[in-house]
Amino acid sequence: MLLSFRHLTSTKQLTRADADAILAGATAMDQVLAKGGDERLKGKVLAALFYEPSTRTRLSFETAMLRLGGSVITADGFQFSSLYKGETVEDTIRMVNQYADIIAMRHPEQGSADRAAAVSDVPFINAGDGPGQHPTQALLDLYTIQKERGKIEGLRIAMVGDLRYGRTVHSLSFLLGLFADVRFTFIAPAELTMPEKVTSFLHEKKLFFEETGDFAAGLDCDVLYMTRIQEERFADHSEYERLKLVYQLSATHLKGKKVTVMHPLPRVGEIATDVDPLPNAAYFRQARNGVPVRMALLEMLLS
């Protein structure tokens, strides 16, 4: 199935049909992965432009392209690129268009993805634009929820931690808004509550949400989506130090609970390592799911 978009910068641009098609495509790509990949994108080149630190997103994009027989060229680090010399995002994208068939870019400035997509002649994917959006993370999160819980509609989703600056929870909230009867519990300190752009969207969609600072409110939900407090988003380091471990999940919290634990990673202390062996600890499976989801997107955008 063809998608309704050529460039992916935000989950808000996806339709329900897009989401369903990508989920189906990821399921098919899991079967391709089980066979060691194939050559359907042979001759195609992905430009992976990562101007902000990344491990999972970058490696899974590159793995996805290589598993489909394509090739990857990279630009790694702001200080090692022409952006450091003052080149605009627009000129960088126009230049990379001469080399690659598709572009995935992470950039520290919110709005940089929209600027890039506006001038790109080849399909463009936002791999994270500062505190803005991270649409492919939301898609792999959605795929993980479907695999772990067997459905998406009717679930209770708790999101915990840095909800103000966390682009992953923003993107996932917008995406879950396409599904019926999803209920949200937002758990954050007062300084890091979910921004109005998300809460107003949920009001518009008539989806239930509650906001609290009580960590226990998430333990009886279907999905507990933990996030780290992001040091890089704080101008005042003392505020980060005060808040960084405000919520800490341990195996003791999960005794007798069936909640699926997710995290976009990296974690910095908000999930204890004694949670890792538990069957409902899904965050490393979640990271793996980035490969089939990005394989599906690459193929569909290059069709």
Residues belonging to the active site: 56-57, 85, 106, 134
Beta bridge partners of 159: 186, 225
What is the bridge-based pairing of β-strands 209-212 and 260-262? unpaired
| Residue 237 burial class via C-beta count within 10 angstroms: exposed 0-12, middle 13-18, buried 19 and up | exposed
The rounded distance, in Å, linking the Cα atoms of 178 and 214 is 27
Q: How far is CA 230 from the centre of its chain?
A: 15
**300 burial level (CB within 10 Å; 0-12, 13-18, 19+):** middle
Whole-number Å distance between alpha carbons of 137 and 133? 9
Residue found under tokens 């409110």 = 217
Sequence-distant (≥ 6) Cβ neighbours of residue 77 within 8 angstroms: 50, 51
* Residue 194 contacts residue 186 (beta carbons within 8 Å): yes
Sign of CA dihedral 116, 117, 121, 127: positive
The answer to whether 166 and 191 are in contact (CB under 8 A) is no
- Contact (Cβ atoms closer than 8 angstroms) between residue 285 and residue 54: no
